[in-house]
Chain A
């Protein structure tokens, strides 16, 4: 562990916050850019409806048949 301790110790603790920030911004951008791209909207729309299409039978009624969701890839 001595070498690891030396390596961490020599890396300069004051820069940790900046390195951490850069890491986060990288991950954030990785998610954000594709999200902003105007594609797959229909898929997201369908995904967002999942709680409303969960086959929960309404008491006193026959369960509704399942509705195939669009854009479902194998």
Chain B
């Protein structure tokens, strides 16, 4: 029977929109990255309350992950999905809603994060109204994507589409469950999880955000755009099948490796390590598949910047996915955790894999989308080499910084005492490396600016009106292939012939359900025991809820982003207990909504900070850190001494905490008066010690109350500032 052909066109306007958004947010995100790199090298670059490191660091990570990489992923998905499915997107209106909705979310993030509205969860900092908006926009994207699959004219779903399906489903699951919280105000909420469970959920999310936002969709792009650029098919389609399923099955288990030697139960940590080590197999399978796609075309790499970017991107993917499993091994992790090593690891992936895949894809797309030739191939070459040099400078300096930190923190002298007992000694040693990072970041950003210029100039050379090409394809169901292979043999023949898998590949609903099952089963395998078994979080009788003032002080700690630099989790190593005190127990953080264990030590751990210094020390330290420690790189927080504490919102915060199961007792009805009583005590103590007067209604009193409380419950030492009858 002769095929009836449908005529249709692709929606490239939406691809162009996402492409420009990628460029815009790429520059913004990297500019903020450069600024925070400068702030670490010299604290004078902390430009006031709203542009300090603690507030800008999450802005940087959100901008590069969700704005730059996110828009890049959407650019590639909208372009490749239509062509692989031989169908225009399901709805142009939904495409536009997705685009503008996503950009609105980014703008909301860019406003709220510097203002200090954050949930204090890495890569999930945005507050609840924005989280809801993300869920809505993501669902719209999913409807549009799956709607396109439903009206496709190509029965087989190419492997890139599988990666997109896995990304869309898993990101939705991760986002919803990690962000479950109870609002305590228009832009304030408390996570429904606490302590160990919150830490587990966060890193289940955090690791898989890297996996399913920065890896699987980019692998889908790799499987589409590398063959296009190399003008030859993927090296092994069989390997791509193995790559996909192994990756989907393994990745979701790996999150707990972010919490080795913390208060997370050891079984979960071991499980995370085991699956992380196994991840090297599919990751390298994918890398090899990508690189070997260029077999017989390597000579093109010399002259073609697109291929140069792709080769380096896939190589960076290989390097970071070798390093990731290595870092998940507990003994290696004990050195690397909390250090800059992790930052170097992340940037090998982000700058090399995500950044260069994006650049290669856009250089390939630009002439096709703008229907003209690339403005300058020479500038593209220049971009490649400058950015490559930038990556090298960045990662070599920060790897050195990380290993230096790790080794200095654990060094003992011949008398058995810490060789570098003052934390600032390690910080000072890192300064040259931090400046080299600034140089590397500047080069990478320079390359990015050249990239933007090149693409904008290419766009400027576009025709007055774009040609809308009409393509033709047979609709599904009307086309009968001339040589349909008969199915012969029994069940074994069907199994070895992979016919069952081919059936899945053509049934998107079944395929999607199977992906969801793989992800959800693996997640439940770890989540259920973490939540159901009480022995995972043994309670400690002396650990009590924070007082209302301490609670609001904790919220200020979150607002200022202190958790970006200070951990509150002492690992059971002698070099840590010598430096910070008794190691942290799971029962210590049962009232911590959210947990604040941190993932990095730019400054020292604060888990046992309470009782170490008098209140006035904290006031002076927050006002001007260098008046206490000359070489400190901590930003100053003088505004805490002048801004009024919002006592009126304390009751609501306490009520929400009580709703979450924190036993607040009397504080449920008199939180505000209790807070005033404790603030009066602290202010009097500060004034008595020779400090400034009139701080009883200022934010600093709440923060001091919180810092003075840290770790005292387990030591049975009451902070001097605890009010009579308080917790």
Residues of A within 8 A of B (CB): 1, 4-5, 8-9, 13-14, 16-17, 20-21, 24, 27-28, 31-35, 37, 39-40, 43-45, 47-52, 54-57, 59, 63, 65-66, 68-74
Contact = CB atoms under 8 A, between A and B. Distances in A.
Given A35-B498, A51-B227, A68 B253 contact: no
Contacts of B471: 55-57, 63
Interface string B222-256: 01110110011110111011100110011001000
Contacts of B274: 17, 20-21
Contacts of A56: 83, 368, 471
Contacts of A21: 274
Interface in B465-521: 467, 469-474, 477, 479-485, 495-498, 501-502, 506, 518
Given A35-B238, A68-B3, A16 B525 contact: yes
Contact of B250 (A8, A24, A40, A47): A24
Chain A to chain B: the 8 pairs with minimum beta-carbon distance, closest first: A54-B83, A37-B496, A57-B469, A48-B237, A48-B233, A5-B532, A13-B267, A34-B498
Nearest to B505: A47
Interface stretch (B153-161, B450-458, B650-658): B153-161
B498 A72 contact: no
A65 B481 contact: no
A47 B83 contact: no
Contacts of A28: 245-246, 249
B86 interface: yes
B302 interface: no
A47 B497 contact: no
A5 B471 CA distance: 58
B497 A24 contact: no
Interface of B: 3, 5, 80, 83-84, 86, 154-156, 158-160, 223-225, 227-228, 231-234, 236-238, 240-242, 245-246, 249-250, 253, 265, 267, 270-271, 274-275, 278, 367-368, 371, 467, 469-474, 477, 479-485, 495-498, 501-502, 506, 518, 522, 525, 528-529, 532-535
B497 A40 contact: yes
Given A31-B501, A32-B242, A71 B485 contact: yes
A63 B469 contact: yes
Contact of B233 (A43, A52, A54): A52
Most A CB within 10 A of own CB, among B238, B250, B253, B275: B238
Contact of A13 (B156, B265, B371): B265
Contact of B497 (A32, A34, A57, A74): A34
Contact of B467 (A8, A40, A59): A59
A73 B485 contact: yes
A37 B498 contact: yes
B528 A72 contact: no
A6 to B, nearest CB: 9
B370 to A, nearest CB: 10
B529 A51 contact: no
B482 A66 contact: no
Nearest to A57: B469
Nearest to B486: A73
Most A CB within 10 A of own CB, among B236, B495, B533: B533
Contacts of A50: 84, 154, 156, 158
Given A8-B529, A13-B265, A72-B479, A52 B231 contact: yes
Given A8-B529, A33-B496, A35-B242, 15 more contacts: A13-B267, A20-B522, A31-B241, A31-B501, A35-B241, A43-B485, A45-B233, A47-B158, A48-B236, A51-B158, A51-B228, A54-B86, A57-B471, A68-B474, A73-B484
B242 A31 contact: yes
A16 B271 contact: yes
B501 to A, nearest CB: 7
Given A34-B495, A34-B496, A57-B471, A74 B480 contact: yes
Contacts of B271: 16-17, 20
A14 B242 contact: no
B275 A20 contact: yes
B480 to A, nearest CB: 7
Most B CB within 10 A of own CB, among A43, A54, A56, A70: A54
Most B CB within 10 A of own CB, among A21, A47, A49, A68: A47
Contacts of A55: 83, 86, 471-473
A11 B160 CA distance: 39
Contacts of B477: 74
A19 B495 CA distance: 25
Contacts of A34: 495-498, 501
Nearest to B522: A20
A34 B502 CA distance: 11
A56 B79 CA distance: 10
Contact of B533 (A5, A31, A39, A48): A5
B237 to A, nearest CB: 4
A48 B237 CA distance: 5
Nearest to B501: A34
Contacts of A27: 245, 249, 518
A55 to B, nearest CB: 4
B501 A66 contact: no
A35 B80 CA distance: 26
A51 B80 contact: yes
A5 B156 CA distance: 43
Contacts of A72: 155-156, 479, 481, 484
Contacts of A4: 528, 532
A4 to B, nearest CB: 6
A44 B267 contact: no
A66 B474 contact: yes
A45 B237 contact: yes
